[in-house]
Every structure is written in C-alpha cells, then in structure tokens.
Structure 1
Amino acid sequence: MATGTDPRSATSAGVPAQGGVHHPSRATIPARHLRADRWWLQPAATAAGLFAFVVYSTWRAFAGDDYYAAPYVSPFYSPCIAENCVPMKDGADWEVFGSWWSLSPALLILIFPLGFRLTCYYYRKAYYRGFWASPPACAVAEPHRKYTGETRFPLVLQNIHRYFFYFAVIVAGILTYDAALGFRNPRGEWGHMGLGTLVLLANIALIWAYTLSCHSCRHIVGGRIRTFSKHPVRYRMWGWVSALNARHMQLAWASLVSVAVADFYVYLVASGVFDDPRFF
C-alpha cells in the first residue's frame, strides 16, 4: 500500500503542530487572511470605546463625591443605599444600607448594571473581538491555539446573564424614579424642569430600550410558546421586543454613552462648574 504524508498528522516536514485554524487538518492558506478591506478598524474602535468607558466609570465609581445635585442623582450612584451617601443627608427616600460601608456608595450598586452589560450577548461579541481577538473579525484567524467557548471558568459565568437581567430591570425602575424626581426643585416642590431633567429622561429611555431589547427578555416573553395563536398578548409583546432586539447593538452603545453623559452632567453641576439651566 502506498504511503504518504497524512495531512492530519501531528507534524509535517518537521514543523510542530499548531492549533485552531492552523491545525494540519484544516486547509492551508499562506496568507493570514484574504480580506482586502480595513477589517481591523471595527475591533479597534470597539476596544477603544469600551476602554474609555471602563476608565471613566472606574474613576467615577471610586471618586465617591460630586454625584448629587438636588434634585439630580448620578445613575452610577443610584440607588444610593450606603449611610455615607450625600442624598441621605438631604432626606432621600432610600433606606440606609449600613454604617459599616465607608467606601464609595457606587461600589454597592454598579455590580448589577455592569454585570448585566458584561454578560450581554452583544458585549460578549464586542470585547471578545476587540480585546481577545477571538476572532478579531470575520474571515480573520484568531491567534489562540485552543478554543473552549463558554464551557469553562471564567467564561462559563456568562450563562448567568438572565439573572443579571432581573436585577437590571429593578435598577432601570429605580432610575425611572430618579428621572421623575428631576421634576422637583431643590426644595422638593413639583413643577421644576431643567436641562438635567431632560438628560435623565433621555438616559432612562435608552436604558429601558436596551434592557428590553435583551435576548433574555425576548426569550422570557415568547421563548417557550409553541403556538403563538393561543397567546396573542405574549405574541404581540414578543414582536415588540424582537423589533428592539434587531437594534440591540445600537441601543447598547447609545445607552452606554447616555449613562456616562448623565453621570458627567450631574458631576459638573454638583462640582459647581455651572448651574443647571432651568426652563421653569
């Protein structure tokens, strides 16, 4: 029987075996990829955008000040449930979490919205490509020798996304309450509207749109229905969520920018950079 070199063998011509798309069992293509466009722009821009938000949110989360300018509270610090919260001293409605907490109040709450975004299906794609190059782009080989998906620690924790969704809904409800409080003046009287009111309203609208466009929300609404005609209300809701889900990427970025803008606006007003322009 004729003998020859098995393309699936561990080595070929003395070259060590490689993993991933460069494994001997895969087709051999000398070029790293066959794309002629600037494919690296999108993952680079994604990495830059996410990195900028991480730097900004880390600074603001640990700052522990300039997050409350009556009647506005930063979304990074809401609900402000630590005893060292500035809104607590101004008669806020939230219960005191406890006197033992001496760090920034934001560190008590940010774990929930950040956990929701970190495990989000779109954001997984974004940082997998932007930071881990897994893969960096379509039709571009990833540099890793082995791929295990989300079956091992720590990526297996991505599967708790649906539970973070429940917390995200609660946080969105609280931020809605905060936006409503934006119609009160610093003395607690209703009938106020300032630029900060509009900023908080725009932010919560985008946060709700992003939260409800979540894949987990779509599954909860209509994922287990076998016959839509028997569930007309849930089918209609599923259609609405599906329409939002088609814009999940755009809503993810828009809400990420809006929450940073809302926090920064409150920071500027609270730190005395300028006074909140009031319409009435």
Structure 2
Amino acid sequence: MTTKSATPPALQPGRVRPRAAIAAKTLRTDRWWFAPLITVVGLSAWVAYATVRVFMHNNYWVEAYHYLTPFYSPCVTARCVPEAAHFGQLLPGWWIIPDAALTLPFLLLFRLTCYYYRKAYYRSFWLSPPACAVPDGHKTYTGETRFPLLGQNLHRYAFYAAVIISLINTWDAVLAFHSPKGFGFGLGNVILLGNVVMLWAYTVSCHSCRHIAGGRLKHFSKHPVRYRFWTFVSKLNVRHMQLAWITLGTLALTDFYIMALSAGWFPDLRFIN
C-alpha cells in the first residue's frame, strides 16, 4: 500500500504564498564574521603604514646602490634627492605634498576601484553585506549609480595609469643594478625585482585587462595572438584576490627594507659588487 504526501491547497488567483517568518538575522553558525574582520585589520594596518611612510619624506633612497622605494616613485618634488628624481623635480617641496604626488592618486584610484577590493571593503567596512546569507548593514541599496560609488566606473581608465606606474617601478628596479660603483647585485635587487613581478601580475590579472585582451572578439580563431594573451590573463585573473594581497605585502616589504638600509639599521646583503 502506498501513501501520498499531502499537497497544500491551491492558492486563490492573485494571492501570494507568505514567506516563512525567521526571527534570527542569520541562520549561519560558522565564523562568517572572521573574513571581514581580517580584511579590516589587514587593510587598516597597511593604509596606516603607507600613510606614515609617504609623509615621512626621508629614508626612501639608498645612494650606494640606487635603491628607490616604490612609495616615493617617481620622486618629483623639489624636496627629493636629485639622484632619486629620475624624471625631474616637477613640484614644489611643500611638506603636505607627497614626493610621489603624480602617481599616488592614480595608484589609489586603481586599487579603490579594483573589483576585488570593492568586494573586500564593501563587506568589511560597509557591511554591504558582510557575508552571504547575512543581512545588509544598510536599509537601502542603490548600487554604484550615485556619488561616490559612481566613480567605480573609472576603473577601466585607472588601469592604463597602473600600467604606466608599473613601467616606472620596472625602470627603478633596472636602474638599481647600476650603482655608482658600476654593476651590482644584492638582496635589495631581489626584493625590488620580486615586487615588480608581483605588481605586473596583479595589474595584468585585472578584469579590465582581460576585457582589453579578448573583449568584443566574435572569433578567437581570427585573432590567435589576442586569444593566447586572453588565455594567459584569464589564468592570472583567477588569482586576482591573492595577487592583490601579495602586492600589498611586497610593497610594504620593499619599502621597509629600503628604509632600513637608508637609516643604517643593517647593510645590504651583496652578491656582486
């Protein structure tokens, strides 16, 4: 003998079945709050360190090996050491102006509008929402259609500025091999090169770069070069979140190492000259 499950009565036309009433804000029992918390701590610590370093205006250049920290590249104010001003001293030396004033705004814009960083600070700082299946911390949501979030649309343009900044950092890393004593190679060169490689990986893995590589193409077979580049960028794009955090770490490490050398805390480990 078989039994049939009871079927709910049919709703009358025009009526909607009510949703289940759940008093709890979320039914999640895992530590969903841990990821937003770590993001707040990590980003806040990095921003605090970077802000202090940018406005210190010292210990950014190692004359003996031509090491220039990326936080001060390019050094363009009248306050810069002449040897570190690879592109000239273009701006006045007022204290409030960062020495890398020409590139910092664009670098900040590229990071702030990055698709991963949007997710990171939307969930952690704005709680919008803090996690999946957790209520939004705000009553209304307008998306990125109003100021200041309307500026997120500038990300595709900030990408080009980020490419220029990466080229400048690459040039700094190359110049660091040519010290006043001639060609040289030390631990500082390894750190500078590692930072440049990670910066390029993060920049190229950007969603905007992926669209530039393969967007608006109807037939990949007719564009084999762009297809191969698009495939390469797509593989990096999967690691965009990890690269975003790695580059924050390499930037801080590079700056700290050069600051320590410039301050005389310890000597550079030299392999050649």
Q: Same fold (TM over 0.5)?
A: yes
1:38 pairs, out of 31, 42, 48, with 31
1:85 aligns with 2:80: yes
- Paired residue for 2:146? 152
1:110 is displaced (CA, Å) by 1.3
Q: Secondary structure at the match of 1:169?
A: helix
1:29 pairs, out of 22, 25, 28, with 22
- Paired residue for 1:184? 178
Q: Secondary structure at the match of 1:106?
A: coil
1:108 is displaced (CA, Å) by 3.6
**Aligned residue runs from structure 1 range 1-280, under 5 A:** 28-70=21-63, 71-86=66-81, 88=82, 90=83, 92-99=85-92, 101-102=94-95, 103-185=97-179, 187=180, 189-190=182-183, 192-280=184-272
Q: Secondary structure at the match of 1:139?
A: coil
Q: Deviations over 1:69-112 (max 9, x none)?
A: 131001011011112112x1x37432221346553313442112
Q: Deviations over 1:137-189 (max 9, x none)?
A: 0111112100001000000001000111101000000100111122122x152
Structure 2 spans left out of the alignment, 5+ residues = 1-14
After TM superposition, the runs of 4+ consecutive aligned structure 1 residues lying more than 4 A away are: none
1:140, 1:120 → 2: CA distance?
A: 23
Please identify, of 26-35 and 249-258, the stretch whose mean Cα deviation from structure 2 is larger: 26-35
1:26, 1:233 → 2: CA distance?
A: 53
1:188, 1:77 → 2: CA distance?
A: 23
Task: Name the CA shift for 1:27/1:65 in 2 (closer, same or farther; >3 Å).
Answer: farther
Structure 1 spans left out of the alignment, 5+ residues = 1-5, 8-24
RMSD over aligned Cα, in angstroms? Answer: 1.8
- The amino acid of 1:166's aligned partner reads Y
1:93, 1:188 → 2: CA distance?
A: 18
1:196, 1:130 → 2: CA distance?
A: 34
- The amino acid of 2:203's aligned partner reads T
Task: Give the TM-score normalised by structure 2.
Answer: 0.89
1:216, 1:172 → 2: CA distance?
A: 16
Q: Percent identity?
A: 54
1:81/1:96 contact within 8 Å kept: yes
Instruction: Give the number of aligned pairs.
Output: 255
